[in-house]
Amino acid sequence: MKKLSIFSLSLMALFLIACSSSTDDEVVTEEAVEVNKSTVNVTMSEWDVNVDPNYKMGKHIKPGELTLILTNEGMLEHNLVLLNNNKHEELEMSADGTMADESKLDILGVIEGLKPGETGQLVIEDLPAGTYAFICNTPGHYSEEMVYKFIAR
């Protein structure tokens, strides 16, 4: 009789282990649907926009949370205007012709003007798949082709 009860106890232990492991599986499933988080470092100078890694070279950003970190490595002020599309060429200009007319743009977010050496960031919480561009819209800089285009997919 004693042997039998030990056997049933160990069966119960097996059952408990089985239960706890199925709970673990559920946790794993929840983690799998977590939002992708990407951090993209951008540097600007006169008149370059550099992105690390370079998403122009066939790499893409995953849709989800995107953090853009901009560092001004130049001698002038720079900013970043993230557009909700990839139309970054021949944008309509402001009345004085120095910058893109922001009232005509579909803007997702902005990093305000940074002085030389400064760093700023922009977080987009849920970037859908698509193609996007950003520009530096400090007066005169868009005309110097301070633009960058990337894909989220």
User: Residue 84 Cβ, how far from Cu ion at the closest point, in Å?
Assistant: 20
Contacts with Cu ion: how many residues (CB under 5 A)?
5
Q: Which range, of 50-58, 113-121, 123-131, 139-147, touches Cu ion by CB under 5 A? A: 139-147
Residue from the set 71, 127, 138, 148 that interacts with Cu ion by CB under 5 A: 138
CA distance 134 to 131: 11
Q: Which of 51, 66, 82, 141 touches Cu ion by CB under 5 A?
A: 141
Q: Is the peptide bond before 53 cis (omega within 30 degrees of 0)?
A: yes
Residue 78 contacts Cu ion per CB under 5 A: yes
Q: Please pick, from the candidates 136, 142, 148, 150, the single residue that binds Cu ion as defined by CB under 5 A.
A: 136
Residue environment code for 7-39, b if the CB has 16+ CB neighbours within 10 A, otherwise e: eeeeeeeeeeeeeeeeeeeeeeeeeeeeeeebe
Task: Say which residues have a Cβ less than 8 Å from residue 142's Cβ, sequence separation at least 6.
Answer: 91, 99, 100, 135, 136
Which residue's CB is nearer to Cu ion, number 148 or number 150? 148
Which CB sits closer to Cu ion, 71 or 138? 138
Query: Does residue 146 belong to the site contacting Cu ion (CB under 5 A)?
Result: yes
Q: Which is nearer to Cu ion, 74 or 152 (CB)?
A: 74
Question: Among the candidate windows 2-10, 83-91, 114-122, 132-140, which touches Cu ion by CB under 5 A?
Answer: 132-140
Binding site for Cu ion (CB under 5 A): 78, 136, 138, 141, 146
